[in-house]
Structure 1
């Protein structure tokens, strides 16, 4: 099990969306705080990203920006916020000299994983020869799919529209999923010395994470995990905690509860089946653990459909 993909799958709710817009200066668009993650790709021209409490970020053609925590921000032709309007109220210009692609993912941050939590409020991935070829390929394909026709141009109003191409919805949805993985991966590759990036690069810690994610229901013990990767219990516990912020067994419990919340919210399996998938032999034991972690029982969580608030 790839940990990054697993984390994104567990946090994501609903389908991602995107739109393409062509404009001419002056322009300034506001993006309010959002329960998820947003991204922008500057396809042509230049601009600026303005986030509260941060220096303006200059954007050039081909630059990609990820806003992983849904922070409020602006896109502007200049490093100032004059005349900002919501993107939905934008007046597109089919002949505009600036073109960008914007999108967003709905993520349940009550199931937020520290791997994505370790990302900064703004992840800027500048374009450049040979930089992140997989990300660039996904961006190019996505840009074509969200245009208004086969010639790669936007619709008559300067916005993306229905292209009439078979399978477009499935292709766009899949490319958006890939794009999120590639954006996060690119940042982790450029910042390998942080806690979670180091955890994924540490052979023994990564092997333990893979085991816990692949088989969360297994009756893991610290002794077994340590023997599996050839470390002493003390060494594994110390290294795992230093890199991930939690001891191995505490992480296992947290991941089981996070996975259970995802299963309860997105499926209709009986509690017995959910309990079994996350390592509990009876619905009673599972319900007790879930309530201790989230403050309410699995049945109540599933009934009201709202996300749990972890304690």
Structure 2
């Protein structure tokens, strides 16, 4: 690990001011991803500004009935919060699926959104990687890419975003609050992460010096009937091959509303807008779920080693929606 300067910020304005003075610096919260990358010398910041005590560590009710999640709320606290578990079960389930208990105790909400890809070539400084070293090439295209993207990739990068929490937040229509040298910005979670295009080194739309201060989740009643399903190579502490965050509202056997987001398939949490549009107004059936999944995945461009993700994603979408539909049917029968 290369030497670096360490500063501890006591509030958001001082954190922003400190990093503004460090063009090659970075914010540090839980450090569960950044410190690992520093050990590998994938990340080599010259200065770290500790913001763990600068941002809020509270989950608060908003006037409209939504929730504000402070950037310093740990993953463990978020997953265990009673309001989150009751109103947004997909979010609690996603966080619990994301890492070991030890990591969840340290990892923060803001830091989780800024995780870098776990592509083996990104983490190996002896190999070409456009995300780590722009213009050097993408080793995964002709190398090991089993876990990588099937949607939204480019010739420059086929990496995937590793966050489970962000997939649920994308389905929840969450927004991210940023504070930077030029003031505050509020960005929809679906627009916060970028597809690689010709600049895969840029994971998000954050500018240097901007700090995540909170995430707001709107009051969506249908989210009390939501789920997060993750398919991975082993049951514990593994990143998603495919994951689905889903919520379904059914009226008289017809889909009144739906939310779908996919993980493990793209450079960003993939909001399944096409599938959602296909499902609204459709009769609840396995066939309609399959047709919607097929419409979403028509744009998939897998590589030879991860072509299995297309039918896998289709099956996970269909089974997740089917489980929610059965839940609705049971509720109607009990009434």
**TM-score range with shorter-chain normalisation?**
under 0.3
Compare the two structures and name the one with the higher helix fraction: 1
**TM-score, with normalisation over the residues of structure 2?**
0.26
Question: Is the radius of gyration larger for structure 1 or structure 2?
Answer: 1
**TM-score, with normalisation over the residues of structure 1?**
0.28
